[in-house]
């Protein structure tokens, strides 16, 4: 079976790939600031785009038919963007809640550590690469 030396090599290999499980405090220190920054940026964008999403109703009487179509298209685009922002906002809130529940960084299907590589790309991911695939 596995000799002590091959076990040591395996452990070294795991360390090298960054797959050892970090503590909840380490994970929170590493990933919470970026999540909070992104959430603040999303809230700011939502506030800034509120006017663009309202413009058609406000200008309905004042503008001609063609510019109204432009305005409707612009409004539809803004609403699409806002829907994506809202979905991302919910994903970030859910990630922040996982800090509180001491579940952040661990796969919701198999419970394994998701890995820093994957979390660095998107700290909102909830599954490890095997379960997500």
Which CB, 55 or 131, lies closer to Zn ion? 131
**By C-alpha distance, which of 132, 31, 40 is closest to 85?**
40
Given the rule CB under 5 A, which of 47-55, 56-64, 81-89, 108-116 is the region that contacts Zn ion?
108-116
Q: Please say which residue, 99 or 113, places its beta carbon nearer to Zn ion.
A: 113
Among 70, 109, 117, 120, binds Zn ion (CB under 5 A): 109
Contacts of 38 (CB under 8 A, 6+ apart): 88, 92
d(CA 133, CA 123): 17
Residue 53, helix vs strand vs coil = helix
- Count of residues of this chain found to bind Zn ion when the rule CB under 5 A is applied: 5
Q: By CB under 5 A, name the binding residues for Zn ion.
A: 107, 109-110, 128, 131
């Amino acid at each position: 079976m596995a000799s002590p030396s091959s076990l040591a090599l395996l452990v070294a290999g795991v360390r090298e790939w960054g797959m050892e499980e970090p503590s909840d405090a380490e994970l929170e220190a590493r990933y919470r600031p970026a999540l909070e920054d992104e959430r603040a940026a999303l809230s700011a964008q939502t506030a800034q785009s509120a006017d663009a999403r309202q413009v058609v109703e406000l200008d309905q009487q004042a503008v001609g038919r063609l510019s109204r179509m432009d305005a409707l298209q612009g409004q539809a685009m803004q609403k699409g963007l806002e829907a994506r922002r809202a979905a991302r906002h919910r994903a970030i809130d859910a990630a922040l809640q996982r800090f509180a529940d001491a579940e952040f960084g661990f796969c919701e299907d198999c419970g394994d550590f998701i890995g820093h590589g994957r979390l660095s790309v998107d700290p909102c991911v909830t599954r490890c690469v095997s379960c997500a695939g």
